[in-house]
Structure 1
Amino acid sequence: MSQFLYRLGQFAARRAWLVIIGWIAVIGILGGVAATAGGTFSTAMTINGTDAQTTIETLEAKFSDASRGIGQVVFHKTDGLPFTDEEKENITAALVSVHELPAVDDTVDPFKTQKKLDSNARDVADAPAKFSDGQKKLDKGQAKIDKGLKDLAEARVDLADGRVELTAGQRKLDKGLSKILSAAAELQANKEGVEYLIALATDDGDPENLLPGLRYQLTLINDGLAQIAAGRQDIRDGQAEINAGWAGIFDGEQQANDGDKTLARAQRKLDRGQVKLDDARAEFASARIIMEGAAKFRVVSADNQTATGSVMFTTPISEVETFDKAAVVSALSGTATENIQVEFSQDLTRSLGGLLGPGEIVGLLVAAIVLFVMLGTLVAAGLPVLSAIVGVAISGASSVALAAVVESTTTTPILGVMLGLAVGIDYSLFILNRHRRQLKAGMPVAESIALANGTSGNSVTFAGLTVIIALAALNLTGIDFLGLMGSVGAAAIAIAVAVAVTFNPAVISLIGMRVLSTKERRALADKEMYDSKPSTTSSASVFATRRPLVSLFATLAVLGIAAIPLLDMRLGLPDGSSEPTDSTGYKSYHLTQDAFGEGVNATLLVVATSPVPITEDNELAFQAGATKLIMGVDNVESTVPGGFSDDRTIAIFRVIPAGGPNDVSTQNVVHEIRALDAEFHAALDSSVNVTGMAPINIDVSEKLSQALPIYLGTVIGLSLLILMLVFRSIWLPLIASAGFLFTVFATLGAVTAVFQWGWLGWLFDIHDPAPILSFLPTMLIGILFGLAMDYQLFLASGMREAFIHGKSATDSINYGLRLSRSVVTAAAIIMISVFGGFVFSHTTMIRPVGFGLAVGVLVDAFLVRLILVPAALKLLGPAAWWLPRWLDRILPDVDVEGAKLERSIAHQ
């Protein structure tokens, strides 16, 4: 590799403009691709296979509108008075106009929505009285029917009595008629006999004077017949009365039967009314459960001074063009008046923005100052910065172009810029510093460029490869967005290395001797050759070797104290409260929180899935049953049903917890709802899942916690292997790796103290302390490992070289420190400056990353590499360089510093 880089340096020096133009062409091509076909960046962090992400994917598949992007707008009265009708109409009109925009699918008017919510609440409140009135009417109707049935029953009794009386009268009448008929027959026979006797007596002349007696008897018989005739008339009259009675009976029975039918119809109608009332009561019981669950949900605050509207886009929010969001913001901003404040959620206003903000530029300026102080010339100081900018331009354009085909987070390109700047400057500096030493020793420019590229360039390549491996290993976590960030960071490092060993030599060749200050060039002209090797005082003791125990324990104490906050570290994802206080996202977040409670910003989406479609008849009961189960969880403020999937197998619920997105109570709510799965199966024959910010945070944190030991073990194992290969030692790799762990613990402790506890918040603009970014520990481990190995390689190479050439163990340590500590110190200060600039980044998610890297480099370079490791090596003495012979034989010989190349050049 050294020979290849030597020849590459020669080529770059001889064909400087070709190399420079080639890099400019690469920037132009990638920049053009990024500008014309570049993608957009998402703020969402997803992990495939987790419950929250799987739930989101299910919703997108089952709900036709689930993938629509949603933005929120907050309207707030600043005069302390409720919204007037005119103000409400203006806001409604603005939302209607937004609905007409091509990218907008729908809008939600808060005042209409709240009016409907209030109306539903009143309906539920009035329902018991209405049910009571309805029941009273039904009871009154039932009483009438019961009275009618009673009257009919009494009438039927009377009719039955009448039948009995009429039957008895008929028998009596029939009996009387029989007697009359019998008497009439007897009298008629007697009459005929008397008339016969009278006729005989008359014919005989009545000799015995019988005629008077017979005539008297006939008179009596006729009188009897007359009486019988009158009796028969009475019988006929009685029969007529009986017949009339029977007609009355028949008519009464018909009326009773008609009454039965009428009452039966009335009873059926009343029964249907009772069923409807009972069904309404059952629906009301479900509706009351649902309304009680949603009682605290509002879109217009109780004091009528804050309202939240929503804008639904036709595409996912990550695919909505910036100008479409700007059109929405512009249209709704027009409702702002002296008394109305209008703020927007992060989804509508957050964009990638510039890759470099004021803080990052200040960091670059500090790095430039450090370079100028170290190198003594503006030309030389500007070269590392220029090389870094070239690398960043390429990696940044590549990230934007890559986003067109791979979903990337907003932190991905910024991380590439951060690493590209810091590492690009340092790597260029290492080569430039070696070149300057050689020039001061009298070496020709072209030869010096090639040799610096073959020696320090080899170290840079090896160090860069270490960082690349560490970052690429983030893919081992199985977390897509983290693996992508690692890959982009690794690509940025690879580009920085490529620029350092090609573009850097080309520009150096054009600069020529101007990389030296005027004083240095004058000294060379006067033949005052500088020795590129350290002076004889190079082995003078440093504090770490003079007081090893004090250095060791003092450093461990400082690191231990710094690591204490790590015990309280919690992981989370950023929300609106982490935005700058003057941003509309921050204002929107807090206006919403103040008006509706913390939980509104931590809304959970609970999904109940049934194996069979939920019918319309059962949907209310299903929603009520699910609401009852969810509301039984502690710290749940409200539960609002959100409808059913297209195939009616999934019901969604908007659940608002009592705490904010990163509160422990909210995380407990998520765990408890997930634990309700068995109860959902038992009560509703369905399963339950949860998604939202808190569930995603939980799943991300759990996934990372599972992956972190594997990743950390990989990194530590890699550290041991690399250092063992390079330095042919057992103890040095162990000490260096342990030092790396101390760096990680102290760094994460400092991050926790500042960003979670809020210490020095006034300095770092930490206005709302919150849990640490969930992927930060893993990301810091990967990046800091690579940088720590860089510093260890540069410092320990000189120690190893001195020890091999016969110096004592202590002198070797002092020699190596004095040989490289100035450039390592400068490189560390540059990295701290660059990373520190990102602490004030406009992208709040990148701030803790910048802070953690700045503190990590500070701790690792100045405490661990320059004090802790040298002190430990001093205490070990010659044993620090011990390696078993069998292991020495099987390990390949790695020439990191290009010593073989340097020796071969010296013999030519």
Structure 2
Amino acid sequence: MAVLLHRWGVFAVRRRRTVLALWLLVVAAIAALGIGFAGSFDSKSDIPGSAAQSALTRMDRHFGSSDHQSAEIVFEAPRGTAFKDPAKATALKQSLTAAATVPGVTSVSDPMRSQTVSPDGQTAVAEVQFSTAKDQDVPQADLDALKDTAAGSRAAGIDVLFGGDAYKQSKPPVGPTEAIGVLVSLAVLAITFGSLLSAGMPLVTSVLAVVASMAGLMGLSSVLSISDNAPTLAIMLGLAVGIDYALFIVSRHRAELAQGRSVKDAVARATATAGSAVAFAGLTVIIALAGLTVAGVPVLTSMGLSAAAAVTVAVAMSLGLLPALLAVAGEKLRPKPGSRALRRMRSSQDPAGKPSMGTRWVGAVVRRPWRAVITVTLALTALALPAMQLQLALSDDGSEPTSAAVRQVYDKIGAAFGPGANGPLVVLVTDAPAGTLKTTGRQVIKDLATVKGIARISPVDYSGDGAAARVQVIPETGPRDPATSDLVTRLQDRVTPLAVQSGSHIAVTGQTAVSIEVSGKLSASLLPFALVVVGLSLLLLMAAFRSVTIPVKATTGFLLSVGASFGAIVAVFQWGWLAGALGVPSTGPIASFVPIIVMAVLFGLAMDYEVFMVSAMREEYVRTKRPHASIIGGAQHASRVVTAAALIMVAVFASFLLGHDPAIMPIALALAVGVLVDAFAVRMTLVPAVMSLLGHRAWWLPRRLDKWLPDLDVEGAHMDENERAPAPVVYPVSPRQDVSS
């Protein structure tokens, strides 16, 4: 790999203007096509072919369903009054009549006829149907006009709230708050390199990568179903890894320049060595994200593949475009004589030079390895303890901020009709033998009467074609409550014998049942996903480092990191610790797709730091064959850059917390905490300690495996076999300054 990338680096230097022009042309073409053929992202979270989803499709076929936007209007009469009062009933009727005349409104339900009036008669709910398709936003003018129709009711003392899907406007995947993460990244890069030009290059390539990947997703959304959460995840990862990968290459390039290499040789060597590590690290992330398809859940598959595509583009930009940019910058990137950057780089290359803070830290760890292993293991285990109480559910309007209209309507309905009114269940009867449908429907009502956890059961509703019957069941608990999931199981157990007895097809369905089914599927997919992804990545790490113990150690460290990240989201999003300070909209069960996404992303990122730290150590070990010296030497080369990379990732992920998106916030917090813990507690503390204890055994690989596994040459050892050392560049040195120290 290193040899091929070295050749590419040489070519990119010689044809830098051509390479640069072609890359810019490709990005411009992708952006133009993506914007020109842009579709819409999908908000559905179902599993085609699953029991509840299949029954929901049957119900829609028999009873009809709307593929248009809808809204809910909640009317609440003053305390001590009810809508049976003539004045209040008249005001309600006038508002509903006015709502029916709003442009874009096709129908308005009457709460009195549809029986959507609370038992105390104080709250009424009307449903409004629009002509706008479900995958589009209702014009704001129509929504405002609908709100204006409540003036008469408000004048009569009635409180009116508007909510529902129509008032959930689609959000851009990235906003101004994420710019904070980019600014922090620029500051970290500037401090790391001591040069704004060097600091700007990773930002340029990562931004171009994000533009290309986002434009591609927009174009593909017109022909493929892509989750509306996928773009945000793709931007988050594309930006973070894009900056980090370019950082490693630019850092190695400047280090080669500091050693006296020409621009061409420095670009080629940086592309070959750091570029090999980037390619390998990116591959582990891509494998982990693509492994999300194992779950068999379309929304998760689209999120995983979209993020994997963004990472792929970021790797391609770092390896393809960045060498040409480095060549164009030329001598401007060479550290200036007497500069702090030059002294720091020369110190990192000179074993006798002044060690960096990271090197001193690793040196202290190596001197007391058992203390480090025990302390880190106990600390991370303690951080992971809250994860034992992790509760999962799919997010709904109850997850939105309390200031949002949809959340206020959700809370009002729950307070007036019971929490289960926000997540009704349906028992559907189809394929009944001739003449038995009504008998079976009545029997369903009778059998459900004794089921624990049901608040109300509606009368049997028969379809217009006479081929189906349904019974609506209102649970005592809300849709995200674990008790509702238990109720679905009890309902299924109760209707299964009746289905066999009657010869009918009887199923529990409804959007809440579908969501519970998806949540269960995601939870059950965690173990097979971990086995597939971890297994493949173990093989890759084994091939890269020619070792059995290093992959095992890397995976164990990852489990500690992911446990700590899960513990953090439970403490914040379930228990409410720091929820107010972080602006968490609501506490409760975690969205079901969060753990598996965090596990996939964090595994890939953890392997990134493992690759960059351990490849530097292996490079030293291949040269010196001294285990302890190679650990210190590798830290001398890589610790500062890994520290900068980790801080950049934490800043990027943390900036997505400021968007207050309930679906993204747990992922952002888990990744920020996970990267912080993994980089500093695991890779820069636990890893050196374990390798110090193992000594030469850290690099042991059975001969049979050594022959069978491909040699990926991440460190560029094969490239160095026939390469001459560079001629040193002599910098003018002030009599008062020693640039080698």
The normalised TM-score by structure 1 is: 0.73
Per the alignment, residue 271 of structure 1 pairs with none
- Residue 249 of structure 1 aligns with which residue? none
On the 8 A contact 1:581/1:587 being kept in 2, the answer is yes
**Does the C-alpha gap of structure 1 residues 734 and 897 become closer, same or farther in structure 2, counting only changes over 3 Å?**
same
Task: Give the SS at the match of 2:49.
Answer: coil
Change (3 A) 1:504 1:79: farther
Match of 1:29 in 2: 29
Q: Deviations over 1:617-674 (max 9, x none)?
A: x74x654432333332212112224733353222123221111111122112111111
The two structures, once aligned, show a CA RMSD in angstroms of: 2.9
Partner residue, 2:263: 445
Q: Which residue of the partner structure matches residue 91 of structure 1?
A: 95
Letter in 1 for 2:209: G
Give the direction of change, closer, same or farther, for the CA distance of 1:75–1:400 in structure 2 (3 Å limit).
Answer: farther
The CA distance in 1 between the partners of 2:94 and 2:335, in whole Å, is 68
Change (3 A) 1:327 1:806: same
Partner in structure 1 of residue 196 of structure 2: 378
- More moved, 681-690 vs 388-397: 681-690
| 1:11-22 matched pairs, under 5 angstroms | 11-22=11-22
Residue in 1 that maps onto 2:330: 512
Q: Determine helix, strand or coil for the equivalent of 1:409.
A: coil
**8 Å contact kept, 2:292–2:300:** yes
Going from structure 1 to structure 2, the CA distance change for 1:881 and 1:667 (only over 3 Å counts) comes to same
Partner Cα separation in structure 2 for residue 775 and residue 633 of structure 1:
30
Aligned counterpart, 1:696: 514
| CA drift at 1:15 | 4.2
Give 1:519 shift: 6.5
Distance of aligned partners of 1:676 and 1:523 in 2 relative to their CA distance in 1, 3 Å threshold: closer
Decide which structure has greater helix share. Answer: 1
Q: 2:255 is matched by which residue type in structure 1?
A: R
In the alignment, is residue 307 of structure 1 matched against residue 307 of structure 2?
A: no
Tell whether 2:583 aligns with 1:582. Answer: no
Structure 2 SS opposite 1:655:
strand
Alignment of 1:755-770 (within 5 A): 755-770=573-588
* 1:192 corresponding residue in structure 2: none
- Give yes or no for contact 2:348–2:636 (8 Å, CA) kept in 1: no
Distance 1:426 1:346 in 2: 41
Query: 1:416 Cα deviation (Å)?
Result: 0.7
Deviation at 1:879, TM superposition (A): 1.9
Pair 1:532–1:57, CA change in 2 (3 A): same
Q: Is the 8 A contact 2:619 2:715 kept in 1?
A: no
Q: What is the alpha-carbon distance in structure 2 between the residues aligned to residue 427 and residue 528 of structure 1? A: 21
The CA distance in 1 between the partners of 2:66 and 2:495, in whole Å, is 23
Contact 2:207 2:239 in 1 (8 A): yes
Rate the CA distance shift 1:907–1:519 in 2: closer, same or farther, 3 A.
Answer: closer
Residue aligned with 1:845, SS: coil
Which stretches in structure 2 are left out of the alignment for 5+ residues?
727-741
1:752 alignment partner AA: V
**Equivalent pair of 1:329/1:348 in contact (CA under 8 Å):** no
- CA gap of 1:687–1:316, structure 2 versus 1, over 3 A, is farther
Match of 1:355 in 2: 173
CA distance 1:836–1:800, change in 2 (3 Å)? same
User: What residue in structure 2 maps to residue 878 of structure 1?
Assistant: 696
- The offset of 1:827, in angstroms, is 0.6
Shift of 1:905: 4.3
Which deviates the most, 357-366 or 786-795? 357-366
Any gaps of 5 or more consecutive residues in structure 1?
A: 118-297
**Could you say which residue in structure 1 is the equivalent of 2:109?**
108
Count of equivalent residues: 714
- Distance between the aligned counterparts of 1:80 and 1:542, measured in 2? 74
Residues 679-688 or 382-391, more deviating: 679-688
Kept in 2: contact 1:755–1:766 (CA 8 A)? yes
Please state how far the C-alpha of 1:691 moved relative to its aligned partner. Answer: 2.3
In the superposition, relative to structure 1, how do residues 510 and 759 fare at CA in structure 2: closer, same or farther (>3 Å)? same
- Structure 2 counterpart of 1:844, from 640, 643, 662: 662
Q: Is contact 1:380-1:516 (8 Å) kept?
A: no
Alpha-carbon distance, 1:872 to partner: 1.6
User: Structure 1 residues 367, 694: closer, same or farther in 2, change over 3 A?
Assistant: same
Counterpart of 1:815 (choices 610, 616, 633) is: 633
Query: Could you tell me whether the CA contact under 8 Å between 1:735 and 1:869 is conserved in 2?
Result: yes
Give the CA deviation at 1:612.
Answer: 3.2
Seen in structure 2, the aligned counterparts of structure 1 residues 814 and 797 have a Cα distance that, compared at 3 Å, is same
Shift of 1:870: 1.5
CA displacement, residues 320-357 of structure 1 (integer Å, 9 cap, x when unaligned): x2145762454235425576655443521334422212
Per-residue Cα deviation, 1:821-872 (whole angstroms, up to 9, x for no partner)? 1111111111111111122334321111111111111121111111112112
Task: Kindly state the Cα deviation for residue 87 of structure 1 after the two structures are TM-superposed.
Answer: 3.2
* Shift of residue 801, structure 1, vs aligned partner: 2.3
Distance 1:802 1:518, change over 3 A: closer
Larger Rg computed on CA atoms: 1
- Closer, same or farther: CA 107–623 of 1 in aligned 2, 3 Å: farther
SS of the residue aligned with 1:637? Answer: strand
Q: Aligned partners of 2:172 and 2:520: how far apart in 1?
A: 33
Matched, 1:535 2:351: yes
1:515-573 deviation per Cα after TM superposition (whole angstroms, max 9, x unaligned): 4566767998xx99947724325686623212211111111111111111121111111
Q: Identify the match of residue 147 of structure 2 among 311, 332, 336.
A: 332
The aligned counterpart of 1:248 is none
Match of 1:148 in 2: none
Q: Is the 8 A contact 2:281 2:604 kept in 1?
A: yes
CA separation of 1:836 and 1:613: change in aligned 2, threshold 3 A:
farther
Moved more, 370-379 or 528-537: 528-537
Partner of 2:300: 482
Rounded Cα–Cα distance in structure 1 between residues aligned with 2:430 and 2:498: 9
* In 2, Cα distance between equivalents of 1:334 and 1:21: 57
* Partner Cα distance (2:578, 2:311) in 1: 32
Measured at CA, do residues 613 and 60 of structure 1 come closer, stay the same or move farther in structure 2, by a change above 3 Å? farther
- For 1:643 and 1:713, the matched residues in 2 are separated by 46
What is the CA–CA distance in structure 2 between the aligned matches of 1:27 and 1:534, rounded to whole Å? 41
1:565·1:749 contact (CA, 8 Å) conserved in 2? yes
CA distance, structure 2, for counterparts of residue 440 and residue 714 of structure 1: 43
Q: Deviations over 1:30-84 (max 9, x none)?
A: 3333333322222221122321211122223333336555432334468987673
What letter corresponds to residue 311 of structure 1 in structure 2? V
1:595 corresponds to: 416
SS in 1 for 2:349: coil
The residue identity in structure 2 corresponding to 1:54 is S
Q: State the Cα deviation string for residues 151-179 of structure 1 (Å, max 9, x = none).
A: xxxxxxxxxxxxxxxxxxxxxxxxxxxxx
CA distance in 2, matches of 1:637, 1:3: 69
3-state SS of paired residue (1:638): strand
Tell me how far apart the structure 2 counterparts of residues 802 and 501 of structure 1 sit (CA, whole Å).
24
Q: TM-score by structure 2 length?
A: 0.89
Q: Is the 8 A contact 1:802 1:816 kept in 2?
A: yes
Displacement after TM superposition at 1:415 (Å): 0.9
User: 2-side partners of 1:724 and 1:364: how far apart?
Assistant: 35
Letter in 2 for 1:108: S
Letter in 2 for 1:51: A
The aligned counterpart of 2:737 is none
The residue that corresponds to 1:550 in the other structure is 371
Q: In the TM superposition, what are the counterparts of 1:303-702 in structure 2 within 5 Å?
A: 304=122, 306-313=123-130, 317=134, 319=135, 321-324=136-139, 327-328=142-143, 330-335=145-150, 342-515=160-333, 530=346, 533-536=349-352, 542-612=363-433, 619=438, 623-641=441-459, 643-681=461-499, 685-702=503-520
Native 8 Å contact 1:455 1:901 kept in 2: no
Alpha-carbon distance in 1 for matches of 2:314, 2:665: 23
Per-residue CA deviation, residues 394-452 of structure 1 (Å, 9 max, x unaligned), is: 11111121111111211111111111000000011011111111222222223322321
Matched residue of 1:688: which SS? strand
CA–CA distance in structure 1, aligned partners of residues 140 and 443 of structure 2: 39
